[in-house]
Amino acid sequence: MTDVGPEDRDVVLVGGGVMSATLGVLLSELEPGWTITVVERLDAAGLESSSAWNNAGTGHAGLCEFNYTPRRPDGTVDVSAAVQIGAQFLTSLTLWAHLVERGLLGPPEDFIRSVPHLGLGRGDEGVAYLRARWEALRDHPLFAGQEFSDDPAVLAGWLPLVFDQRPPGQPIAATRSAQGTDVDFGVLTRRLLSALAARGADVRFGQETRGLRRSGDRWHLDVRDRRTGARRQLRTPYVFVGAGGGTLPLLQAARVPEVRRYGVFPISGQFLRTDRPELVAAHRAKLYGHAAPGAPPISVPHLDRRVVEGRDHLLFGPFAAFSPRFLTQGRLTDLVRSVRRGNLPTLLAAARDNRSLMAYLVRQLRQTTQDRIAALAEFVPSVRAQDWELITAGQRVQVLKTTEGRGSMVGFGTELVTSAGGSLAALLGASPGASTAAATMVDVLAASFPGRTAAWGPRLSELAPSADTVHSWDAAQLAANVDHARAVLQLTPVRPGEDTA
C-alpha cells in the first residue's frame, strides 16, 4: 500500500549513476519543460560502478586497449572498434566541455586529467602486433601524436618503474598517447546530477524502486524510502532503468519480454594498490598489456596512475573474484533470485559453451597473493609485496544470452534494451562503460523517442555529437573539435618526465 497517490512525471530515471545522470542532463537540455525524477537507492549519487574506487577511471578512447584492435589472420590489425570508441569518447568530451563552458560542472580538473595511455607489447609477437597496431592508427586524427618505440632507453624514460631492474634480452615495445585521460566518474556523476537538480529536476536519494509495471500507457514505479519505509508511486510515460547491477531484476519483475531469456553473472574486480610516493612518482601513465589466454576483454591487465579524492595511487589489476551480489551494496541472494524458468537454459548453455572463460575464472579465484604479485612483477620487476594491498573494486554484472543456440557472455559492449515502443529503456552489461556514457545516451534517445529525433537533431549534434556524426567530419573539423574540447577541459599533452597530477 502506498502512503500517497501516484505522482505523475514526464520522465523517471532509476539509479543515480553516470548513465542516468547523463541522460537526465541531455533530456533537460532538449526539453526544459519536462518533469524529471531520479530515484537512487543509496544516500548519494555515483557510489556503485560509477564510484572512482569501483572502476579503473580510464577514459577509454581506444588509445591503448588491445581488445579493441584484434589481429587479423594475415597479421594486420583491425582498428575499427578502436576508432568507434575514440569517436564515442569524443562525444563525452564534447558534452563535458559544453557543460564546463557554461559553469555547470565546476573545475574540470576535479573529474578529468591528462594521464598518458601506453600499450606494452612483449616477445617477438607482441612487438610485431604493437607495431602493426600503431601503423594502422597513427594517421587517424583521433590517435594523433601516438608514438611507438622499441628502444630500451626511450622506454625507460616513458616507464621508469616498469624498466627498473628489468632483465635485458626480451623483445619489448610500447606505444604512448599523450592525450590519454584519467576520469573520476563518481565526481562527474555528482556534478551532472547537481546540474540537473539546479534545472528543477527532482533527485531523490535513499529511495529504492521495488516494483515496475505497465498499466495503460504509463509505467508505474513502486518506490520505498529505505530509511522510513514509506512508499510512493510514480507514474510516467517514460522510464529509463539505469540501475547498473540492479537493472535485470527490475526488468524481470516488470516481465519485460525482451529479457525473458537473459541471464547475468556477477564478477567482482580486485586491484593491487600502493600509495608509496616513490612508486607513484615513477609511473605517470596508464599502461595496458595483453589479456591472458581465455580471459575476457574486461580482464586486460593494466598498471594505472590514479588521483582519487586528491591523493595519488597506483593500481594494478583487475583480478576477477566472485560475489553473488549484483551491486557492491546489493543482496547475497541476488544471483539465486535472478534464475527463472525462462533464463535457466541460457545459464546452462553459457556454462557449457564458455569453458575457457570458466577455466579462467576458476584459475583467478584460486589465485594466492604470491600469484597476484607474480602477475604484477611482469609489469614491475622490482615489486615488493609489502608495498601493495589488495582492494575490491566494483561488481560487473555480465549479461548471458543465447545466440544461435550457443550461450554467450556479452563481455564487449553494453546491451541497450527497449520495450513497449521505446517507453522503457535499460542498459545491461558494463563495457566499455562510463567513458561512452554520452554516446550511449544519444543512442538511448534515438531508440526511445524516434518521433523527436529530427527536432532534437541540431541541438544534440552541438551538445553531444553521435559517433556517426563524428565519423562524418573531415580531418580538419575533427581535429578542431578535439582541440576545442580538450582546451576547455584543460587537458594538455604530458611529455615524458612531466608530472600529471
Ligand X SMILES: Cc1cc2nc3c(=O)[nH]c(=O)nc-3n(C[C@H](O)[C@H](O)[C@H](O)COP(=O)(O)OP(=O)(O)OC[C@H]3O[C@@H](n4cnc5c(N)ncnc54)[C@H](O)[C@@H]3O)c2cc1C
Residues that bind ligand X (CB under 6 A): 14-20, 39-42, 47-50, 54-58, 60, 185, 208-209, 242-244, 246, 250, 269, 318, 327, 393-394, 396, 427, 430, 433-435
For the bound state, the minimum distance from the C-beta of residue 415 to ligand X, rounded and expressed in Å, comes to: 12
If the CB atoms of residues 246 and 289 are measured against ligand X, the closer one turns out to be: 246
Q: Grid coordinates representing 149?
A: 618505440
**For residues 19 and 485, which CB has a smaller minimum distance to ligand X in the complex?**
19
Min dist CB 242 to ligand X, Å, is 5
Among the listed residues 12, 9, 13, 2, the one whose alpha carbon sits nearest the alpha carbon of residue 242: 13
Cβ–Cβ under 8 Å, residues 273 and 314: yes
CB of 328 to ligand X, least distance (A): 8
Q: Minimum CB separation from ligand X for residue 376, in Å?
A: 17
Q: Please identify the residue of the shown chain whose CB is closest to the bound ligand X.
A: 17
- Go through 400-414 and write b for each residue having 16 or more CB atoms within 10 A of its CB, e for each that does not: bbbeeeebbbbbeeb
Q: Which is nearer to ligand X, 289 or 394 (CB)?
A: 394
Q: Which is nearer to ligand X, 50 or 469 (CB)?
A: 50
**Inter-CA distances, 308 with 54, 179, 304, Å:** 11, 20, 12
Is the Cβ–Cβ distance between 100 and 489 less than 8 Å? yes
Q: Kindly report the CA angle at 204 between 198 and 209, in degrees rounded to 5? A: 145
β-bridge pairing 112-114 and 181-183 = antiparallel
- Using alpha carbons only, how large is the chain's radius of gyration in Å? 22
**Min. distance of Cβ 247 from ligand X in angstroms?**
7
Ramachandran class of 36: left when φ > 0, alpha when ψ lies in -120 to 50, beta otherwise: beta
Q: Which is nearer to ligand X, 254 or 350 (CB)?
A: 254
Q: Quick one: which of 153, 151, 150, 142 has its CA closest to 177? A: 142
- Alpha-carbon distance of 17 to 192, in angstroms, equals 10
Nearer to ligand X, 211 or 493 (CB): 211
Q: Residue 365 Cβ, how far from ligand X at the closest point, in Å?
A: 16
Question: In whole angstroms, how close is the CB of 352 to ligand X at the nearest point?
Answer: 26
CB of 499 to ligand X, least distance (A): 21
Tell me whether residue 349 or residue 426 sits nearer to ligand X (CB atom): 426
Q: Provide the minimum distance between the beta carbon of 278 and ligand X in the complex, in angstroms, as a whole number.
A: 25
Q: What contacts 404, CB < 8 A, 6 or more positions away?
A: none
At 398, which helix (H) or strand (E)?
A: strand 389-403
Minimum CB distance to ligand X smaller for 120 or for 172: 120
43 or 125: CB nearest ligand X: 43
The 415-419 sheet, strands edge to edge: 202-204, 36-39, 11-14, 239-241, 424-428, 415-419
